[in-house]
Copies of this chain bind each other. A is one copy, B any other.
């Protein structure tokens, strides 16, 4: 199938370029009877919104969402939900000079090679703005999961090499870094501002946990819980890796220490991150994912143009010096989309 649809039964199709008229999504398979409102979607979009702090792009977008279909008397009616977000403050003129040049670290070259043409206005489809549609769809998925007692929480674990060591869930939305460690957040914040001041950018790591996840979700052997999450998370721009539970550290452990012993009162540890054999175990799900530094930087870079000739480029636009804080709700959204789908599929697992 073409690549802009995600999920099997709870299924989202997204559309939209960063500087076209609009972006949005169609969510098919939302179970009938689920309460849905534009307000609950808006709350999630606000967490992703640009301009929310001094470490995000100052591009102003209202990101107002309109529900075009699928909701009647405030509940999902079983038909597709279409969500529309108009593009506002576009400043296309910023991007004219980029028509002929491939930005390093961006998808420009790939799109040109793939399609023979390229929408050079702000990255077009490859813009991070595309994730607004994911967040909108994820809000609906989260609402469905909420009816099942399942909740998704992500946060900034590390930025510019500075890692959160304390964990206070209540702190996450209280600092511009979305870190659960207020003190680390301050250091991260300074690192981001310093990078921007020097025309540079930084990356980081987002951690995500799911509480209330029942045992039994996941569709081996290919659509395993962790495989689908890896698919969903790696499909977010700028993500370069994912690890579940102890992840790469598990590769250095012994079986005797890495196995999570079971007792009548539950597991003694959670090295696995809540998934074994691609199926949830009933423990908390846990994974970490790596975001590279924003490729758009003010410093001068070496590149080529459409004709293959050498060029230098300095990207002057309004860009996030660190995308991590705004990516936190995107990670949650993709996680929720995977889980909502698996929740429905699990209803089909048994004969009775």
Contacts and interface: CB of A to CB of B under 8 A. Distances in A.
Interface residues of A, number: 159
Identical chains in the assembly: 4
A112 B50 CA distance: 42
Interface string A265-291: 000100011011111111000000011
A51 interface: no
Contacts of A32: 114-117, 349-351
A241 B244 contact: yes
A4 B31 contact: no
A167 interface: no
Q: Select the residue from A32, A73, A247, A277 with max chain B CB neighbours within 10 A.
A: A277
Nearest to A160: B252
Interface stretch (A170-178, A180-188, A226-234): A226-234
A293 B244 CA distance: 14
B8 A28 contact: no
A37 interface: no
B251 A33 contact: no
A55 to B, nearest CB: 14
A205 interface: yes
A333 to B, nearest CB: 13
Contacts of A226: 234, 239
Contacts of A251: 158, 203-205, 240-241, 290-292
Contact of A69 (B17, B231, B256, B352): B17
Contacts of A260: 104-105
B104 A259 contact: yes
Interface string A321-352: 00000000000000000000000111111111
Contacts of A149: none
A125 B79 contact: yes
A179 interface: no
Given A115-B32, A348-B31, A279 B310 contact: no
Contacts of A352: 31, 33, 147
Q: Select the residue from A77, A245, A256 with max chain B CB neighbours within 10 A.
A: A256
